[in-house]
Amino acid sequence: MSEHILQTKNLSYSYPDGTTALDDINVNIKRGQTTAILGGNGAGKTTLFLNLNGVLKPSSGNVIYGGKSIEYSKKGLTALRQAVGLVFQDPDHQLFSASVYQDVSFGPMNLRLSEEIVRKRVEESLIKTGIYDLKDKPTHCLSFGQKKRVAIAGVLAMEPEVLVLDEPTAGLDPKGVGEIMRLLKEMQQDLGFSIIIATHDVDIVPLYCDYAYVLDEGKVAMEGSPNEVFSKAELLRNLHLRLPRIAHLMEILRKNDDFEIGNFASTISQARKEIKRWRENLRLVNK
Amino acid sequence: MINIDTFAYNSKLKDRDPMEKLLFTFVTLSVCLWANSIIISLTVLLIMTWSTIYGGGIPRTVYFKLLLIPMVFLIFGVLAVAIEITPQPYEFLGSISFFNFYLGVSKAGLITATQLFFRALGAVSCLYYLSLNTPMIDVMSALRKLRCPKLLVEMMSLIYRFIFIFITTAETMIIAQSSRLGYSRFMSGYRSLSLLISSIFIRSYQQADKIYTSLESRGYDGELNVLEKSKGYISTGYLKVLGINVFLVILTFII
């Protein structure tokens, strides 16, 4: 088993009208990790995802799953779509059935599994996503956050190795954002799948992600661990993004207020640690 | 329409086998149409009303308001049957002369009209029983079991789902337009409406495209294969359907 579950090699994609959406993308997704794809609007995140799932076929370059280049045959695509599950940004673009139960069963049914197994998987993913109580409700009576969970359950029921989510937190209230992200991390611990999320919500990246790519105009502009990426503030701002709020605060403290803070911090707990350390140092100096 | 939908999802009969309800509706409906007698029609109306209000727990006021909707059509339709126009006043119970003609009501006409009225009302009550107690999803799953063409049922289920998205989209757009005074004057209202219709068309097209992409990413291969939640099958339910209808048929022959 290779360390990387999903990779792209020199992936380029142009839309039929000639616009280049992706240009020479090299992305390596590590097994069992959470990878963020950052980028402003129109940076190519969604197009990249459609390529990862085989809905779009690269104009040049490869998508490599589990060390093998993917085949665009019917069999190859079915296998890929089972292994790489895609959750779309707007659940109304994904939920096609008025019944929650039916919609969740759609993916596993397409895998030609027996009815018994499909039922088991549907029930399990409804329980895991915390929406078992909604199984009898019609889709159009659900709230946005609930629909989002149904969309995730529908992909989860296919038991993917990689869960790809396009803007999972967009349109959710602050509580909903926390709940969805914690839910994903819990399921990741239980089931061991890898997660890729596209987002421009930079605050969630240092909290939940292990690695980050920044896309700009179809190219990979930056990559690294969240702290590596966020330590290059100027570059990030040129790419229509910003620092997480905490990282921004720490930057201001360092630059304008003469705080000598050693390590880079982009989450509340990291910042707390650094500020406490700074205070200790100050006390020692004063003594 | 949305109201009926909400009642169906809250009905006490919601979890009953949809096939039983479908059978109950259409067999009773056929008997009601076939018998063509006021007593049978009234019995059907009574049974269906009772099943909907007490069985399904649908609020009485809602049910009777719904029954009033077809009443308008019914009354006009029945009037056309009951009132005859003839050059000679013949066998009329009462009539008024009208230039060279007579407008009047005959005994036979009156009987036909009353029969028609109750027959239609009975039939309507059967359909209300179905639509107020059976969520659309269940109706479609029953149709699937009845070997209704797959394409038809798939279309039905997609249309049903998208009606709601369509309504929300249209609603938001109308609010957005009126908040910019789009409907304040007659001419601007006219223009706003045309813009609304054309942009809804474009949106629907985009929506269809997106939904196709997302279906494809979950392995769509031309058929929307889904599983239904299994519903309890009770043979006494079918026996009840049979019993009621045998009773109705016998009643028809006795009268």
Residue with token string 């009643």:
B251
Q: Which pLDDT does position B2 carry in this prediction?
A: 52
Dist. CA B252–CA B34, nearest whole Å: 10
- pLDDT tops 70 at residue A50: yes
How many domains does one find in chain B?
2
Min distance A97 CA to chain B CA atoms (Å): 6
- pLDDT tops 50 at residue B227: yes
**Are residues B52 and B132 both part of a single domain?**
yes
Mean pLDDT value across chain B? 86
Asked if A187 and A85 count as a contact pair (C-beta separation under 8 A), the reply is: no
Secondary structure (DSSP) of chain A: --SEEEEEEEEEEE-TTS-EEEEEEEEEEETT-EEEEE--TTSSHHHHHHHHTTSS--SEEEEEETTEEPP-SHHHHHHHHHHEEEE-SSGGGT--SSBHHHHHHHHHHHTT--HHHHHHHHHHHHHHTT-GGGTTSBGGGS-HHHHHHHHHHHHHTT--SEEEEESTTTT--HHHHHHHHHHHHHHHHHH--EEEEEES-TTHHHHH-SEEEEEETTEEEEEE-HHHHHT-HHHHHHTT----HHHHHHHHHHHHS-----S---SHHHHHHHHHHHHHHHHHHH-
**Are residues B126 and B61 both part of a single domain?**
yes
**Are residues B117 and B242 both part of a single domain?**
yes
Looking at beta carbons, which residues of chain A come within 8 Å of B12? none
Find the mean pLDDT for residues A254-272: 83
Q: Given an 8 Å threshold on Cβ–Cβ distance, is B164 in contact with A140? A: yes
Which DSSP symbol is given to B229? P
Q: Which pLDDT does position B1 carry in this prediction?
A: 44
**Are residues B235 and B213 both part of a single domain?**
no
The β-bridge partners of A56 are none
**Are residues B75 and B181 both part of a single domain?**
no
**Are residues B15 and B73 both part of a single domain?**
yes
pLDDT tens-digit series, residues A99-118: 899 899 999 998 888 999 99
pLDDT tens-digit series, residues A163-174: 999 999 888 888
Q: In what order do the strands lie in the sheet with B83-86?
A: B83-86, B101-106, B92-98
pLDDT tens-digit series, residues B181-211: 888 888 888 888 899 999 988 988 888 889 9
Dist. CA A24–CA A9, nearest whole Å: 8
Find the mean pLDDT for residues B126-150: 90
Three-state secondary-structure class, residue B100: coil
Q: Which residue of B has its CA nearest to A135?
A: B229
**Are residues B254 and B241 both part of a single domain?**
yes
Closest residue by Cα to residue A263 from B252, A211, A43, A254 = A254
In chain A, the percentage of residues whose pLDDT exceeds 70 is 100
Dist. CA B249–CA B201, nearest whole Å: 50
**Are residues B38 and B121 both part of a single domain?**
yes
**Are residues B115 and B197 both part of a single domain?**
no
Asked if B121 and B67 count as a contact pair (C-beta separation under 8 A), the reply is: yes
Residue B120 tokens, joined: 């239609």
- pLDDT tops 90 at residue B83: no
Looking at beta carbons, which residues of chain A come within 8 Å of B18? none
DSSP H or E stretch at residue B96? strand B92-98
Which among B158, B160, B214 has the least Cβ separation from residue A94?
B214
Min distance A119 CA to chain B CA atoms (Å): 8
Min distance B149 CA to chain A CA atoms (Å): 18
Q: Given an 8 Å threshold on Cβ–Cβ distance, is B219 in contact with A158? A: yes
Question: What are phi and psi for residue A272, nearest 5 degrees?
Answer: -60, -45
| Residue B85 structural domain | 1-147+229-255
Q: Which pLDDT does position A1 carry in this prediction?
A: 58
In chain A, the percentage of residues whose pLDDT exceeds 90 is 43
Interface of A with B in 107-136 (CB under 8 A): 107, 109-111, 115, 118-119, 122, 135-136
- pLDDT tops 80 at residue B94: no
pLDDT tens-digit series, residues A221-236: 999 999 899 888 888 8
What is the reported pTM? Answer: 0.83
In order of A90, B39, B163, the CA distances from B167 in angstroms are: 17, 42, 6
**Are residues B49 and B139 both part of a single domain?**
yes
Residue A97: what residue type?
Answer: S
Looking at beta carbons, which residues of chain A come within 8 Å of B220? 110
A141 inside 8 A of chain B by CB: yes
Name residues whose C-beta falls within 8 Å of residue A80's C-beta, 6 or more positions apart in sequence: A53, A54, A65, A70
Dist. CA A219–CA B79, nearest whole Å: 75
Q: Which pLDDT does position B162 carry in this prediction?
A: 87
Looking at beta carbons, which residues of chain A come within 8 Å of B213? 50, 55, 93
Q: Which residues of B touch A (CB under 8 A)?
A: 5-6, 9, 14, 135-137, 157-158, 160-161, 164-165, 207, 210-211, 213-221, 224-229
In chain B, the percentage of residues whose pLDDT exceeds 70 is 98
Looking at beta carbons, which residues of chain B come within 8 Å of A87? none
In chain B, the percentage of residues whose pLDDT exceeds 90 is 18
**Are residues B133 and B237 both part of a single domain?**
yes
Which among B160, B164, B218 has the least Cβ separation from residue A154?
B218
Min distance B248 CA to chain A CA atoms (Å): 35
Question: What are phi and psi for residue B76, nearest 5 degrees?
Answer: -65, -40
Dist. CA A247–CA A206, nearest whole Å: 10
Dist. CA B82–CA B111, nearest whole Å: 8
The β-bridge partners of A162 are A84, A194
Which among A103, A111, A138 has the least Cβ separation from residue B9?
A138
Dist. CA A26–CA A61, nearest whole Å: 9
**Are residues B139 and B26 both part of a single domain?**
yes
Q: Given an 8 Å threshold on Cβ–Cβ distance, is A78 in contact with B229? A: no
